[in-house]
Structure 1
Amino acid sequence: MTDTKNPIQVSERIFHTIECLAQNGAMGLQELSTALDLNKSTVHRILNSLICMDYVRQDPETAKYSLSFKICGLSNQILSQNSMIDIARPFIKELSANSGETVHLVQLDGINATYIDKVEASQNSVRMISMVGKSIPLYCSGVGKAILADMPDAKIESIWKQSFIQQLTEHTVTRFVDFMNLIEETRRSGYALDNEENEIGVRCIAVSLKGYNGKSTYAISISAPKDRMSDARILLLREMILKTKHQIESNVY
């Protein structure tokens, strides 16, 4: 059969199965077969292989398949090798405590930014849709604009052209010329804003962080409901986040 002769195709199908289960949770064989557009016998072989390797388990009562915590173990091992998390952690905890809001740490990942750490607000908390390991496009996020602002214009345009630009909210900027105006404003002010461009009701202020290579491959943000993020308060938070940026980068070098 084709999937036993082409190792690349087999790998692709295995990872698509893992991604499908990660996105949807527990699924039955027929559900997976339909979602993956593969026949049930092929999906069954893939699932059996993943079960043998402890990446998937099957509920004996519902017969549905779901990912095991072994996947979480892999992600934790990857994150544990990122020294920026260890360096930044005490400072973003302090920033969250002082601001009373949720603070994120992200890393550049191609045309996206990936959340690698998060400190939830300790009080007045509104839970954000963000989670460690989740990616967010650069073009519609404060952290993304903060990172992009440190890049040459040609590089920004290249990333823009590779991105799937879509109107996520009524505030999402979808014209490149308008986006570059925001980048210029970020460069002038030293921080970036997300004005409900990715999630309605949430505003963010963000700054880039330089890694060991001297390039801005990280960023931190303060996120809060828009009723707690007036322009006047953003000016107060600006001082906090710029101070945190200086503290973190001083410990990197």
Structure 2
Amino acid sequence: MAETEQTEKIKNPVQSAERIFSVMETLAQTGPVGLVELSGMLGLHKSTVHRLLLSLTCMGYVQQDEETSKYMLTFKLVELSEKILAKVDILTVVHPYITRLANDCNETVHFVQRRGTEVFYLDKVAPLKPQESAIRMASQVGLARPLYCSGVGKSILAEMSEEEVRYIWDHSEIEKKTEHTIVTLDELLKELQIVKEKGYALDNEENELGVRCIAVCVPDHRGRPMNAFSISAPVGRMTDERINELAVQILRTKEEIQLRLGQA
């Protein structure tokens, strides 16, 4: 008998936790629902479900509609997830993925974050076995570049509304950095439409002669287009055919990062 009681003491807390989370997960899927219906969905007695709902209500995770008597989740879970995601160090999460990407494609990979009308280079990963090249890229961690004339910048802009893009354009110092730099808003808007269709952006020597980049945007935990990463290489290695190959790799890496961040 003593052994049975001890076993119950061990099992009950786990069972209660499982049931509480089952209630919450079910409410998340169904929306407002009545006690009887919820009991049927969970396969639990009405009194058991009622007790669980009372507990969740006391803790602020569930509320009952006064008119319909139906139960629903509050936004407390959302608040918790916001706090958790806000603590996520994006660089710690992303670095292993872009390191692998750099070594897989044998090219340099950059990670940036938007700040106002510019992007700041937060991480730069060179492959373990870099290819020989006469080009030495001017990029470095801490460097700032305008959004409008970089692959990473255009990948971020493509996730914004046209109104936001116009605002950023109007508040940027437009400069023809190379003969390939986009210097009109109409041309930029056309380019961003192509980015939306393909899922990635290109920098065709627009910021630095001799260097071509392919880039993708990674939204932050609130879905805002704040981060991006790119593969950069000398134009001699970045043919259109190579770009198509790298597009598969960079889009796959983006998907993996988003899964890791819970964005899928």
**Offset of 1:82 from its aligned partner?**
6.9
Aligned residue number for residue 141 of structure 1: 150
* Structural mapping, 1:80-159, within 5 Å: 83-121=89-127, 122-124=129-131, 126-159=135-168
* Structural mapping, 1:64-79, within 5 Å: none
Matched, 1:166 2:175: yes
* Structural mapping, 1:192-211, within 5 Å: 192-211=201-220
Measure, in 2, the Cα distance between the counterparts of 1:116 and 1:127. 19
Measure, in 2, the Cα distance between the counterparts of 1:170 and 1:152. 27
Question: 1:172-203, CA deviations, whole angstroms, 9 ceiling, x for partnerless residues?
Answer: 01011011110000001000000000000000
Measure, in 2, the Cα distance between the counterparts of 1:127 and 1:97. 18
Structure with bigger gyration radius: 2
Unaligned regions of 5+ residues in structure 1, if any?
A: 1-80
Question: 1:121-166, CA deviations, whole angstroms, 9 ceiling, x for partnerless residues?
Answer: 3311543111111111100000000000000000000000100001
Measure, in 2, the Cα distance between the counterparts of 1:196 and 1:144. 14
Shift >2 Å, 4+ stretches: none
RMSD: 1.2
Measure, in 2, the Cα distance between the counterparts of 1:127 and 1:171. 19
Matched, 1:216 2:225: yes
Q: Which moved more, 1:158-167 or 1:210-219?
A: 210-219
Letter matched to residue 237 of structure 1: L
Identity of aligned residues (%): 43
Question: 1:45-101, CA deviations, whole angstroms, 9 ceiling, x for partnerless residues?
Answer: xxxxxxxxxxxxxxxxxxxxxxxxxxxxxxxxxxxx871100001100000001000
Aligned residue number for residue 248 of structure 2: 239
Measure, in 2, the Cα distance between the counterparts of 1:250 and 1:131. 28
SS at match of 2:149: coil
Measure, in 2, the Cα distance between the counterparts of 1:144 and 1:157. 14
Letter matched to residue 107 of structure 2: E
SS at match of 2:167: helix
Measure, in 2, the Cα distance between the counterparts of 1:191 and 1:118. 19
**Offset of 1:209 from its aligned partner?**
0.2
SS at match of 1:235: helix
* Structural mapping, 1:35-50, within 5 Å: none
Aligned residue number for residue 54 of structure 1: none
Q: Could you tell me the TM-score, scaled by structure 2's length? A: 0.64
Unaligned regions of 5+ residues in structure 2, if any?
A: 1-86
Measure, in 1, the Cα distance between the counterparts of 2:121 and 2:145. 8
Task: State the number of aligned residues.
Answer: 173
Letter matched to residue 114 of structure 1: F
Q: Which moved more, 1:125-134 or 1:141-150?
A: 125-134
